[in-house]
Chains A and B, each alone.
Chain A
């Protein structure tokens, strides 16, 4: 910076500087030192011009969010709700046989089967763990629940025809084609005692009369369709 330039500007404002210099000096009050000493002796170091407390959203937001988080945490982990809450890490998984027997009971077929299908020596038997009525408290540990389980043996009706088995390799290689064209595949019928299973499809005896009737119906529909189409074409040409 050019020093002479600033000095020149000092001269330019000489009058202003003089006015300011001539201002009367303002002194501290007479009791200034006394008051100061009193403050120091009393360790009163709180400043008279202390900082005003300014409102900050963070001062509200941070503790409030902490409180909400703590409430949520305590609710989910420490609540003693009357409802039975299933903890998937504490319950024994339901066995597949258990599920199937539940389905049988729900459909009403279970009783029928139980009467018809008493357990014989050659029958397929599955041992299942049945869960009794809960006598323990809801929040008991897993160990106490496991002890009350009981072992049951029951026969399970499987949708398999053990007399009709299929060699997989032969079926793929088409060497032993035992397929009966009259035997159409259908959905597995777990309840039907007449269902046969060849390893892939659940075969079913077909009613020939029914088939003939359906075929005739299809033929008549086709014939009607063709006649209509011819009529439309003839109408269009005219």
Chain B
């Protein structure tokens, strides 16, 4: 049964799940979208643990409200919209509380918070360090710009799809993407040369 379902598109799978409550169809969709969604939410929020919870909640909402999906829209647009809403809610909650974290949850990896002035050009070429710096720079971009930049440049969605997910006009989407990129460019001018 599962082998038959694997070849179906996202929209066909969700329809199968809606009509026949086929749990395998649901599992295939979860498998397809868990990684991209985790990557999207992580880049938006910057925290690993909470992003897993948010993606879990997204899948649960998908499971509970499967009938709210309408077939005229793309499934990826629908599920990214859910994940984006939950991520934004989490961001708002964060603003209302102050979190002091003195220890790193991952015992194997030690993350040192460094001052920019101490980052030498040689160290900046290390992809891991670079990734962290880019992530930190992304966190400094305004959330409304950050979200659309991630959807465009990392998740590689079209402007139309992004407009549908964020419930904005295409013009606004493009404008926000450019502003986000501009700000990011300023922040990353030390490391992206070459």
Q: Is the CB of B56 within 8 A of A40?
A: no
* A237 located at the interface, meaning its Cβ lies under 8 Å from any Cβ of chain B in the complex: no
CB-CB under 8 A from B149, the residues of chain A are 20
Q: Which residues of A contact B3 (CB under 8 A)?
A: none
Given contact pairs A26-B39, A35-B56, A20 touches B153 in the complex (Cβ within 8 A)? yes
B-side contacts of A52, CB under 8 Å:
93, 96
Contact status A48-B53, CB under 8 Å:
yes
Nearest chain A residue, comparing its CB with the CB of B181:
A13
Q: Is the interface of B mostly helix, strand, loop or mixed?
A: helix
Given A16-B181, A17-B181, A23-B43: A28 and B154 interface contact (C-beta under 8 Å): no
- Output the nearest chain A residue to B40 by Cβ-Cβ distance: A26
Chain B residues near A49 (CB, 8 Å)?
50, 53-54, 57, 86, 89-90, 93
Contact of A6 among B27, B48, B174 (CB under 8 A): B174
Could you tell me the distance in whole angstroms from the C-beta of A216 to the nearest C-beta in chain B? 98
Is the Cβ of B134 less than 8 Å from the Cβ of A19? yes
> Which residues in chain A, 30-58, are within 8 Å of chain B measured between CB atoms?
32-33, 35-36, 39-40, 45, 47-49, 51-52
Minimal beta-carbon separation of A212 from chain B (angstroms): 100
A24 adjacent to chain B (CB < 8 Å): yes
Please, which residue of chain A has its CB at the minimum distance from the CB of B63?
A40
Contact A28 B57 (CB under 8 A): no
Classify chain B: how many residues form its interface, as a range: 35 or more
Taking A23-B134, A25-B39, A40-B63 as contacts, is the C-beta distance between A33 and B182 under 8 angstroms? no
B185 within 8 A of partner (CB): yes
Taken residue by residue from 134 to 151, chain B's Cβ proximity to chain A (1 for < 8 Å, 0 otherwise) reads as: 110010000000000110
With contacts A6-B174, A15-B192 taken as known, whether A32 is within 8 angstroms of B43 at the C-beta atoms is: no
Question: Is A135 positioned at the interface, with any CB of B under 8 Å from its CB?
Answer: no
Let me know if A27 is at the binding interface, CB within 8 A. yes
Q: How far is the CA of A9 from the CA of B173 in the complex (A)?
A: 13
Residues of B close to A35: CB separation below 8 A: 56
List of B residues within 8 angstroms of A21 by Cβ: 153-154, 156
The interface residues of chain B lying within 8 Å CB-to-CB of A36 are: 30, 56, 59-60
A29 interface residue, CB < 8 Å from B?
A: yes
Q: Are B34 and A33 in contact (CB under 8 A)?
A: yes
B91-135 vs A, Cβ < 8 Å mask (1 yes, 0 no)? 001001000000000000000000000000000000100010011
A24-B131, A52-B96 given as contacts; is B64 within 8 A of A45 (CB)? yes
Interface residues of B in 41-92 (CB under 8 A from A): 42-43, 48, 50-57, 59-61, 63-64, 86, 89-90
For the A-B complex with A39-B56, A49-B86 known, give 19 more contacts whose Cβ atoms are closer than 8 Å.
A6-B174, A9-B178, A16-B184, A16-B192, A20-B153, A21-B154, A21-B156, A23-B154, A25-B39, A27-B35, A28-B34, A28-B52, A32-B38, A32-B52, A33-B34, A45-B60, A48-B53, A49-B54, A52-B93
